[in-house]
Amino acid sequence: MNAHDLLWGMAPAQLPADAPAWAVEAISAGHPVVVRRALVAPGHVAVGVRGRLREQRFATVMPLAQVTRRVVPEALGAVVLPRDLPALRALEHLRPLLGQHAWGVAGSAGFELATGIEALHAHSDLDLILRSPERLERGDAQRLLAVLDTAVCAVDLQLQTPFGAVALREWAGRSRRVLLKTCGGAQLVADPWQAVA
C-alpha cells in the first residue's frame, strides 16, 4: 500500500470511540479511506477518512485483512467525468503532456474520479503524484513545473521517491534543503532520493 491509495472495506465498528459523527457517516455510506504516511502495527495500514468539508479529515488505522478493494492514483489518470470544473479541465489539458510519466491523481479529484462522489468545487486544486524511483534533476523539475503552470487551476504535484514524497514546486525551487514526507514524519533533506538517517 502506498500513500494516496484508496481502500474500501472499513467498517464503522473499526473506528475508534472518539471518531466524529461525520467520519462514522462516511464509512457507513461505504466511502473509501485514503492511505496516509505513518508508522503502524504490522497487519494494519494508516488511513484517513474524508468528510464533505475540507477540514473534515480523521486519521486512523485499518486492518489489512479488511481491505476489499484498492484503487491507486495511476488508475485514475484516464478517467473522465462529465462535470465542468477547473480541476477537471486542468486534468484534461495535462493528460497528454504527462503521458510518458508514471503519474496519477490524488486529493479531491482522485477521490471523485474513483467514487463518483462530488468532492471537487470551482476553486479546487488538482493534486497529482509522480512515481520517481530515479532522481529527477532540478532542471527537469523546473521544466515539468512550467508545464503544470499552464493549467487553468493550481496544480500540486508530489514526487514519490523511494524514501518519501517531496513537492515538485519545492524541488524545482532554489532551497538547498526540501521537506521530505516520510512514514516517520517530515524532514528537511538535501536529496529526497537518499535514505534519511
Model confidence pLDDT, tens digit, residues 44-92? 999 999 998 888 999 999 999 999 999 999 999 999 999 999 999 999 9
Scanning the structure block, which residue is given the C-alpha cell 467520519? Answer: 23
**Residues 45, 28: Cα–Cα separation, whole Å:** 19
Tell me the residue range of the domain where 48 lies. Answer: 6-71
**Residues 25, 15: Cα–Cα separation, whole Å:** 11
**Quick one: pLDDT at residue 197?**
67
Residue 197 lies in a domain: no
**Quick one: pLDDT at residue 53?**
83
**Quick one: pLDDT at residue 52?**
85
**Residues 42, 48: Cα–Cα separation, whole Å:** 18
> Are 107 and 89 in the same domain?
yes
Residue 17 lies in a domain: yes
Domain boundary residue among 52, 71, 90?
A: 71
> Are 96 and 172 in the same domain?
yes
**Residues 56, 24: Cα–Cα separation, whole Å:** 12
> Are 112 and 175 in the same domain?
yes
Q: Say which residues have a Cβ less than 8 Å from residue 155's Cβ, sequence separation at least 6.
A: 90, 94, 125, 126, 127, 128, 148, 149
**Quick one: pLDDT at residue 44?**
96
Residues noted as catalytic: 125, 127
Average pLDDT, the chain: 94
Q: Pick from 115, 47, 42: which is nearest to 79 by CA?
A: 115
**Quick one: pLDDT at residue 99?**
81
> Are 140 and 109 in the same domain?
yes
Domain boundary residue among 37, 54, 71?
A: 71
Scanning the structure block, which residue is given the C-alpha cell 484498492? Answer: 70
